[in-house]
Structure 1
Amino acid sequence: MKKILLINQHSSNHGDEAAARALTSKLKEVRAEFSILYNASGESFELDLPLEFREVRNTRAITNLEKAQIMASLNVPSQPFRGLFSRDARAEYEMIRKSDYVISMPGGANLGLYEDWRYLWRLMMAQRLGKKTAIYSTSIGPFRDNRFKKMAFQVLKGADWVSLRDAASIKYGRDGHVNFEESIDTAFLVQDFVSTTWQGKDLGDFGVPFAPDCYCVFVPNNLTAGHRIFRNVPKAHLDALYLALLNRALATGMNVVMLPQLFGNGNDRRYFAELAAKSDDPSRIFVAAEDILSDHQQLIISKARFVVGARYHSVIFAINMRTPFLCLSYENKMRYTLELLGRSEMGIDLTELSNGASHEEMISTGAAHVDKLAKGDVAPADQTKAQAIAQNTYESFQRRFLIAV
């Protein structure tokens, strides 16, 4: 039986969980032995996935010494460096060596904005060891380090199958002469799979104290706490924007449900509670538990009047559930998903704050949009188109990569 290794699976994030659950529900149909190598740190890293794994391994934060060793090994044949690898790196290398196929799981711009050397190293080791390698519906770029960029494109060009999930990544791929499929977020892939997990569930099972259509979902993002694009943005400006939109939603008569996207090592609930406490009516705001499965978050969103989301997958979930939304975009992947679906008017580009844009003007624009959402004057985005793109991507993956399994 063929051995398939899933690598670079992000954890502690319900968006990555949703994409992984969608893809692995399809991979259940493949007759193979699966293992998985997470790209996470912390103890609560394993996701609830519908596949059985022979071997499961997590990573930990890379040390400066390990980074130097990994970077050095990327420039020469790996064999002379194997004895210098850390115990963790050797274990990862062995998982790759024992596999027949390697699939890099859907995720963010680790090949680009986040410059994840371990992520890159795993892919390069797989290719050097002659493994059939796929990079499934990821984001790439922007690139700051020319050395990392050169190696990232070497890996992208060397892969047997690649799909890129947003217009910015597609442009980087074309400019770099990468052979790839144009895709969209993998969470759109399996709608029926999501629905089956709802059976027998209602809002009360997740502590939501509001009736359907009497609440909106609000998902802020504490971007100034570490996101590279927002390093020069005052926290007070971003907090003021979120708080103004939160209060505007309350003023329309809506109750508010806040859905944490991070879990395990995340800080969403703490930040949400901080904003809720400063709002005009904390009693009408419910901060959900962070361990609610991504499928069930989508159930909660499906019964909401609208969504205001500053996390990528809160918007993906809204599209999937045909719920109107306002997208507070913090990376290209959000803005260009709206462009792909022809709904750019449903977004505000938060990255303009780092270029000196006025948060007061964004508040005014956002408040007007919230009013329209509350009145029902905004139509949902095209769920059917998004799901069709995701399905076409998987069918190509089957034909061009999985056919020999």
Structure 2
Amino acid sequence: MKVIVINQYCENRGDEAAGTALVRNLLGKPKIDQIDIIYNSANKLDIDHPKILHRNEELRLKKIGKLGILRYLLLRKTVLRRLSFANETMREMARTISEADVIYVTPCGASLGIYKDWAFLLRLLFVISENKTPVFCLNTINASGNILFDFLAKLVLRKSKVYVREQRSVDYLKSIQVKSELGVDTAFSEQPIIMERDPKRIGLVVTLLEWHPEFTGRNMSQEVIENIVPGIAQYCIENEYEIELIPHTGQQDETEYIQEVIRALEDNGMLKESLIFRKDVNTSDEYDLALASKRFVVGMRYHSIVLAAKNAVPFVALAYENKMKEVCKYTNSMESYLNLQEVLTSEDVYKKMKLVDDKLDIIKENLISINQEKLQILSRLPLKEIQ
């Protein structure tokens, strides 16, 4: 059996963690002989196996070209289908898709939705053009607000099997007459990391949000520095905690911002030696391990709280999207939730950190219980497509 994982992102540790979890699950299926991973960039997952074929170089859309893509989409379903291949890259893309037995759409955020990723959508149009059924593997899906994009997305979705990780996605899909099944993030299918935790060190994951469509017009970088960092610093000073700042993307703009946050923490009274920038975290497994070793985690990125919850590490979720709220709901952790779409104060953050810290043992037991009883099962729902 040949399986494809399509549209894999490698620009941040979260997408890599979810994609790696899916691939590891597939490797556990004896009947699968080959897994082709078709990427959204020239990067690739940090996982190698004789059954895995990383298609991160030769199947790039830029090698097909805009005219080649248009020619394929316009002619593939017509009597002129023999003319639909403008070049060998498009021919190889179509051949790879047509030979697959199952095609999984990699777990990710709202690429079909508010992120409006045209490249992501085009690859899925290739899939249905080859008369194959995309299997959405616990994605976030919603409306983008662009009429043409949403029209084409509906064409894909109505020819797909859809598993999603948010109730809001279920509700949206129902409104456009698309059936779906609700699970949880694929990363919960990985085994929890059981290790000794540093009782005096918390993990902090910060991020830039100026790119996000729901934060247009707000200077979130500055809001975090002015409104959130002081509360974190105060709580850590009073409890003599150190902070590990853990990168989520590893990109230059994030690195520069983490350094700015470090300076702000120092300006708010923290000692330089109590602030550790984990520049050594470069893979999703290293990210997972870094989160697992902390007393608790304060996270501004979705997978920082998913992986913390998976490892039964208490967390404070500084939520930039509904998907983070839903993680808090299905892990019975709504007390750990703060909404970044509201204007938070340092007092809000301080109180939430204290609440979580005061209930560490109760929270850990809850996360262990719910992961074993529910989340691991729900995170593997799409695997039933492998018969």
Is TM-score (shorter-chain normalized) higher than 0.5? yes
Is 1:314 aligned with 2:300? no
Question: Match for residue 10 of structure 2?
Answer: 11
CA distance in 2 between counterparts of 1:61 and 1:275 reads 36
The secondary structure found in structure 2 opposite 1:163 is: strand
Question: Match for residue 103 of structure 1?
Answer: 104
CA distance in 1 between counterparts of 2:280 and 2:61 reads 26
Q: Cα 1:233–1:396, aligned 2, differ >3 Å: closer, same or farther? A: closer
By how many angstroms is 1:3 displaced? Answer: 1.9
By how many angstroms is 1:188 displaced? Answer: 0.4
Is 1:172 aligned with 2:162? no
Question: Match for residue 326 of structure 2?
Answer: 336
By how many angstroms is 1:62 displaced? Answer: 6.6
TM-score normalised according to structure 1 size: 0.81
Contact 2:6 2:37 survives alignment (8 Å): yes
CA distance in 2 between counterparts of 1:387 and 1:18 reads 19
Is 1:114 aligned with 2:115? yes
Contact 1:326 1:369 survives alignment (8 Å): yes
Deviates more, 1:234-243 or 1:372-381: 372-381
Q: Cα 1:326–1:394, aligned 2, differ >3 Å: closer, same or farther? A: closer
* Aligned residue among 216, 230, 245 for 1:231: 216
Is 1:278 aligned with 2:279? no
Question: Match for residue 200 of structure 2?
Answer: 214
Question: Match for residue 355 of structure 1?
Answer: none
Question: Match for residue 92 of structure 1?
Answer: 93
CA distance in 2 between counterparts of 1:189 and 1:121 reads 29
Question: Match for residue 54 of structure 2?
Answer: 56
Question: Match for residue 364 of structure 1?
Answer: 347
Is 1:183 aligned with 2:183? yes
CA distance in 2 between counterparts of 1:231 and 1:312 reads 19
Question: Match for residue 345 of structure 1?
Answer: 335
CA distance in 1 between counterparts of 2:84 and 2:280 reads 39
CA distance in 1 between counterparts of 2:149 and 2:73 reads 10
CA displacement, residues 327-362 of structure 1 (integer Å, 9 cap, x when unaligned) = 01111111122123332221111123xxxxx3xx43
Q: Given residue 48 of structure 1, which amino acid in structure 2 is its aligned partner?
A: D
Aligned length: 372
CA distance in 2 between counterparts of 1:89 and 1:163 reads 28
CA displacement, residues 148-185 of structure 1 (integer Å, 9 cap, x when unaligned) = 112212212211x3210112212112222222221111
Q: Cα 1:395–1:367, aligned 2, differ >3 Å: closer, same or farther? A: closer
Q: Cα 1:344–1:90, aligned 2, differ >3 Å: closer, same or farther? A: farther
TM-score normalised according to structure 2 size: 0.85
Q: Given residue 402 of structure 1, which amino acid in structure 2 is its aligned partner?
A: I
Deviates more, 1:330-339 or 1:289-298: 289-298
Deviates more, 1:161-170 or 1:52-61: 52-61
Q: Cα 1:350–1:166, aligned 2, differ >3 Å: closer, same or farther? A: same
Matches within 5 A, 1:278-297: 278-280=264-266, 281-297=271-287
Deviates more, 1:284-293 or 1:106-115: 284-293
Question: Match for residue 386 of structure 2?
Answer: 402
Q: Cα 1:395–1:215, aligned 2, differ >3 Å: closer, same or farther? A: closer
Matches within 5 A, 1:25-40: 25-30=24-29, 31=31, 32-40=33-41
Q: Cα 1:275–1:398, aligned 2, differ >3 Å: closer, same or farther? A: closer
* Aligned residue among 81, 84, 94 for 1:82: 84
The secondary structure found in structure 2 opposite 1:232 is: coil
By how many angstroms is 1:9 displaced? Answer: 0.9
Question: Match for residue 153 of structure 2?
Answer: 152
CA distance in 2 between counterparts of 1:127 and 1:392 reads 29
Question: Match for residue 244 of structure 2?
Answer: 257
Identity %: 23
The secondary structure found in structure 2 opposite 1:107 is: coil
By how many angstroms is 1:15 displaced? Answer: 1.3
Q: Given residue 54 of structure 2, which amino acid in structure 1 is its aligned partner?
A: V
By how many angstroms is 1:217 displaced? Answer: 0.4
* Aligned residue among 223, 226, 230 for 1:240: 226
By how many angstroms is 1:133 displaced? Answer: 2.9
The secondary structure found in structure 2 opposite 1:111 is: coil
CA distance in 2 between counterparts of 1:126 and 1:376 reads 48
Q: Given residue 16 of structure 1, which amino acid in structure 2 is its aligned partner?
A: D
CA displacement, residues 283-306 of structure 1 (integer Å, 9 cap, x when unaligned) = 211010254443343333333221
